[in-house]
A = this chain, B = another copy of it.
Amino acid sequence: MHTPRTGLLALTLALCAAGTQAGDIEKAVDYRQGLMNVYVYNVTAMGNMVKGKTPFDPTAFARHAKDLATAARLDLLAGFPEDSINDESDADDKIWLDWDKFQQKNQALRKESARLAEIAKGGDETAMKTQFKKTAKTCKGCHDNFKH
């Protein structure tokens, strides 16, 4: 039976559901952008050393490499629930249209950053710079495909 009252109830429930969903998406966006900030902070610090913008400090480099590898182990994909796009997000639709590829890109970051952290322990500047470039390519590789 459809009365104004049940109609109002249905509308209220629908709005509540929409509100929860919007809240969840906002949380997910905050989370993934937060995690990206953690990546960026460490990648930038290492990149500045590689480019000679700041002096090469193997100990600091190794610390950033370790933190990047640690952050890469966090569940980034959880920050991309289906169609979690809002006005604050640069995420591209292709993420959900080609989820397998997106996952592979995430795995590439994990693999290369773990290798970078391992190499950085050894303190060989040339090896660190070479592996840094491979790691940074995984950022670019993903952004080229999935960020607009």
The answer to whether the Cβ of A27 comes within 8 Å of any Cβ in the partner chain is yes
Given A27-B44, A44-B27, also A38-B70 (CB < 8 A): no
Shortest Cβ distance from residue A44 to the other chain B in the assembled complex, whole angstroms: 7
Indicate the size class of the contact surface on chain A: 20 to 34
The answer to whether the Cβ of A13 comes within 8 Å of any Cβ in the partner chain is no
Given A30-B41, A35-B38, also A70-B63 (CB < 8 A): no
The answer to whether the Cβ of A73 comes within 8 Å of any Cβ in the partner chain is yes
Q: Contact check, B67 vs A70: say whether CB atoms are below 8 A apart.
A: no
Oligomeric state, in copies: 2
**A75–B36 Cα gap in the complex (Å)?**
15
The interface of chain A, by Cβ under 8 A from chain B, is: 27-28, 30-31, 33-38, 40-41, 44, 63, 67, 70-71, 73-75, 79
9 contacts between A and B (CB under 8 A): A30-B37, A30-B40, A31-B41, A34-B36, A34-B37, A34-B38, A35-B37, A37-B37, A67-B74
